[in-house]
């Protein structure tokens, strides 16, 4: 049965996902080629709340990243975000607190680098000149001039502030 027919009747398995991604990549490549558009990342900027704000824009952002700014996200200057990073400011998984939804602003300072496949949770502030290692899950604030890695992310090194003219 062809992939399209399986999609119509919702018989999709994990092998089909690879087929779907190949088809989508080929279609995207053809559209870019026809329109003369350079290769750009597939990035989702979303908010389910009309009052959500995205302030600033990353200098670089890797493909398949998601920035959910429903609870407000502020991104500083010269911020580099790796492939597959998720930046959240809203969560419906609230734990024992009894809330239905958590909306907290997420702040990413100037000159921050966030490694691929990291997750930044709602309400987190990442200080300027900091680096978040690949695959980290940032659950608490990260101070300026720090390197943080792991699940949950922990500061493993403090750098001295960079010299600026």
Instruction: Quote the CA–CA distance of 138 and 159 in Å, as a whole number.
Output: 19
CA 112 to chain CA mean position, Å: 13
Beta bridge partners of 137: 119
* CA atoms 79, 46, 89, 152: torsion sign: negative
Q: How many CB atoms lie within 10 A of CB 28?
A: 14
* pLDDT tens per residue, range 110-130: 999 999 999 999 999 999 999
Q: Are 67 and 54 in contact (CB under 8 A)?
A: yes
Q: Are 83 and 100 in contact (CB under 8 A)?
A: no
* pLDDT bucket at 140, cuts 50 / 70 / 90: very high
Q: What is the DSSP string of 11-40?
A: ---HHHHHHHHHHHHHHHHHHHHHHTPPP-
* pLDDT tens per residue, range 39-75: 555 788 878 888 888 888 888 888 888 899 888 999 9
pTM of the model: 0.71
Beta bridge partners of 68: 46, 88
Amino acid 14: pLDDT = 47
Work out the mean pLDDT of the chain and round it to a whole number.
Answer: 81
């Amino acid at each position: 049965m062809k992939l399209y027919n399986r999609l119509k009747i919702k018989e999709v398995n994990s092998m089909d996902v690879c087929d779907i991604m190949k088809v989508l990549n080929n279609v995207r490549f053809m559209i870019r080629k026809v329109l003369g558009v350079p290769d750009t990342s597939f990035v989702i900027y979303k908010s389910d709340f009309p009052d959500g704000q995205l302030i600033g824009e990353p200098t670089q952002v890797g493909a398949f990243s998601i920035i959910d700014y429903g609870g407000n996200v502020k991104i500083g200057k010269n911020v580099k975000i790796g492939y597959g990073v998720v930046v959240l400011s809203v969560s419906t998984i609230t734990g024992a607190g009894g809330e239905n939804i958590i909306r907290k602003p997420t702040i990413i300072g100037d000159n921050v680098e966030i490694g691929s496949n990291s997750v930044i949770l709602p309400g987190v502030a990442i200080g300027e000149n900091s680096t978040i290692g690949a695959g980290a899950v940032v659950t608490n604030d990260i101070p300026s001039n720090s390197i943080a890695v792991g699940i949950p992310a922990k500061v493993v090194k403090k750098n001295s502030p960079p010299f600026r003219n």
